[in-house]
Every structure is written in structure tokens, then in C-alpha cells.
């Protein structure tokens, strides 16, 4: 008779090591995160592959790839550890402790919004361990699809996925220019007065870029030959240095921006935009994720 999986001596530790390697596709990086020597990681992987009687990775050239079995095992390991995490948190709750891991995935503009709320939350829940992932819309969408985090903040939630979303607050997109720009002191600026300006734009996959493109298309506006810069911070620095103009989240402008930037009062702007809290439909939130969700919604007020 075929042996059942759990009787084949694969251990949680092996699965944990496997998951770290599989998510990074690098033994070296996983060893560093796990504080283990590389040979120890390799041994754990070999034992796990033997226990399952299957190959989990393929090495082609210098790159590591997951086999189909490896992909299956990665999905199962994530589910398994999520369940174990929830168990750990429930046990801690029974003991009256608010402990556990809170995993957040937020788009880059929301990194100006969420930390200010996370600070006080962590103060009142000192035992909570936070994993805060920041990426552009496409990167955070992938994390959501792979079910890697508890809660997500998007301004353009991927509505094609099965999600629940709640409006958090507004995220207007504004035109920014260096403060010495000839139009900087004007009360009103027409779009056609910006003809000939050089524009700095976020990369493909960015929600900010997506919103700007949609707005320009709807209004019949053109941004000719934009320069692509894949970071809000680098865009702010470049605008301040006189490289061109940009359209960014107003919060990006007010947070840690170089002093010599202004918002231009351009007709038709700001572009209306909002942030949403996103949870995969049917996801069982851990008690701490549930607590953070309520806290976010009560602080930002849009939930009521
Ligand atoms: P992003 O963030 O431009 O980094 O994708 C965007 C958003 O607000 O959707």
C-alpha cells in the first residue's frame, strides 16, 4: 500500500526551509534569512525530496526553477503555515496575548499612508511582528494572487480577482513642478500651457501610471515622450532638479519631498483616485489581521 504523505517523515522544518528557498529561488538567500549554513539548507531539501520521492527544483545554468511538484508543494506549504500561524495566534489569544505576524502588501503610494497608522497600532500591540511589503501595482497584485499577505492596500484594486474591497480614503494625483518654474505662482494653469514640458512617468505596472494614462485618454490629453523612472522618490528628486514635471500622489509630495517642489493648479486636476483595503474573498484573517483591519477602517473613517 502507498504510504500516506504525513507518514513519510517530511518535517515542518523541512517544509519551512523549502518554502523560503522556493519563494526566493535561491539557496543562498534562504540560508541567510533562516540563519542557517547553505549545506544545512541543501540537506533539508534533499531529505524532503527523498521523503516525497519527487524532484522539487531544477537547476538550469545558474538559475533554480520549481518543478510542477515543487509548485504544488509551495502552495500547500503556504496554506499549512497560514493555518499554523492562526493556531498560534488563537492559542496566544486564549492566554490573553495579542501576538502574531501581520503581513501587509501595499502599493508604493500607500507607503506614505500606512506606516503612520501602523506605528500607533504596533505600540498598542507590542508583540506583533509586522512584514510590510511595498511594490508597484503589478507586484502587489502578484502577491495577492499568490495569497502571500493578510491585507493589501491598492488604489486600483484588481477587480478581476475574487476580492473584497473597502474604500479607505482619497488619493488625488497632482501635477508637480520645481518651485522656480515660471508657472509655479499662477492661480490657474491651462493644460495647453504645459505643451513642450518633459514628463517623468512611473514604470509599466504602476497603478499611478495606469490612472494617468486612463485620465489622459478620457480627456484627450497627451504626455509626449515621457521619461520612465521606477520610483516616486527618484521622480521627486528629478523634478526638483529640473528634469521635468510629473503627476504623483499628493501624499507623495507632502511626505519627505525635497523642499523645492510645488503642486501646479492645472485645470482638470487633481485626478480623483482612492485607496482601498483589499482582502481575498473568503480568506480567514488571523485575529491580529482582523484587529488591524478594524483599526485601519476606524482611523480612516471611510468604513462607516
Ligand atoms: P504604484 O502605486 O504606482 O506604485 O503602482 C500605485 C497606486 O497608488 O495604485
Give yes or no for a contact between 207 and 141, defined as CB atoms under 8 angstroms apart: no
3-state secondary structure of 158: coil
For residue 207, report the distance from its CA to the centre of ligand 1, in Å. 4
pLDDT bucket at 94, cuts 50 / 70 / 90: low
Given the DSSP bridges, would you call strands 63-66 and 128-135 parallel, antiparallel or unpaired? unpaired
Q: What is the mean pLDDT of the chain?
A: 89
* Cα 294 to Cα 265: distance, rounded to the nearest angstrom: 36
Contact between residue 275 and residue 155 where contact means Cβ atoms under 8 Å apart: yes
Distance 275 CA to ligand 1 centre (A): 10
The C-alpha cell of 139 is what? 507586484
Residue whose Cα lies nearest atom 4 of ligand 1: it is 136
Ligand 1 site residues (CB inside 6 A) read 107-109, 136-137, 154-156, 202, 206-208
Ligand 1 centroid to Cα of residue 279, in Å, is 17
pLDDT band at 101 (very low <50, low <70, confident <90, very high): confident
Query: Residue 33's beta-bridge partner residues?
Result: none
Measured from the Cα of 273, ligand 1's closest atom is: 8
On the question of pLDDT at 51 being above 60, the answer is yes
CA distances from 100 to 247, 290, 291, 296, 298 (A): 38, 12, 11, 18, 21
Average pLDDT in the 9-30 region?
92
Q: What is the pLDDT of residue 88?
A: 80
The pLDDT-based confidence of 225 (bands split at 50, 70, 90) is confident
Question: Ligand 1: distance of its center to the CA of 74 in Å?
Answer: 28
Residue with cell 484627450: 220
**One-character DSSP codes across 127-157:** TEEEEEEEE-HHHHHHHHHTT--SEEEESS-
Amino acid at each position: 500500500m502507498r504510504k500516506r504523505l504525513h507518514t513519510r517523515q517530511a518535517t515542518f522544518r523541512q517544509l519551512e526551509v523549502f518554502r523560503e528557498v522556493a519563494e526566493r529561488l535561491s539557496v543562498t538567500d534562504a540560508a541567510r534569512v533562516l540563519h542557517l549554513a547553505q549545506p544545512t539548507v541543501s540537506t533539508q531539501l534533499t531529505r524532503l525530496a527523498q521523503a516525497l520521492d519527487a524532484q522539487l527544483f531544477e537547476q538550469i545554468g545558474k538559475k533554480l526553477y520549481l518543478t510542477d511538484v515543487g509548485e504544488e508543494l509551495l502552495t500547500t506549504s503556504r496554506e499549512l503555515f497560514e493555518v499554523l500561524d492562526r493556531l498560534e495566534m488563537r492559542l496566544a489569544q486564549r492566554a490573553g496575548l495579542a501576538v502574531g505576524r501581520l503581513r501587509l502588501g501595499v502599493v508604493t503610494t500607500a507607503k506614505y499612508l500606512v506606516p503612520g497608522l501602523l506605528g500607533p497600532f504596533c505600540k498598542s500591540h507590542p508583540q506583533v511582528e509586522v512584514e510590510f511589503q511595498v511594490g508597484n501595482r503589478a507586484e502587489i497584485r502578484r502577491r495577492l494572487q499568490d495569497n502571500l499577505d493578510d491585507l493589501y492596500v491598492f488604489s486600483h484594486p484588481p477587480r478581476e480577482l475574487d476580492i473584497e474591497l473597502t474604500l479607505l480614503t482619497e488619493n488625488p494625483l497632482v501635477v508637480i513642478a520645481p518651485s522656480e518654474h515660471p508657472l509655479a505662482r499662477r492661480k490657474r494653469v491651462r493644460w495647453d500651457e504645459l505643451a513642450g514640458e518633459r514628463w517623468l512617468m512611473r514604470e509599466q505596472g504602476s497603478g499611478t501610471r495606469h490612472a494617468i494614462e486612463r485620465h489622459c485618454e478620457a480627456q484627450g490629453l497627451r504626455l509626449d515622450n515621457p521619461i520612465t523612472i521606477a520610483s516616486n522618490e527618484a521622480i521627486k528628486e528629478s523634478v526638483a532638479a529640473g528634469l521635468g514635471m510629473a503627476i504623483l500622489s499628493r501624499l507623495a509630495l507632502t511626505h519627505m519631498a525635497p523642499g523645492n517642489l510645488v503642486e501646479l493648479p492645472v485645470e482638470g486636476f487633481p485626478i480623483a483616485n482612492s485607496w482601498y483595503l483589499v482582502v481575498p474573498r473568503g480568506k480567514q484573517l488571523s485575529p491580529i489581521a482582523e484587529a488591524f483591519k478594524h483599526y485601519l477602517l476606524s482611523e480612516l473613517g471611510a468604513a462607516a
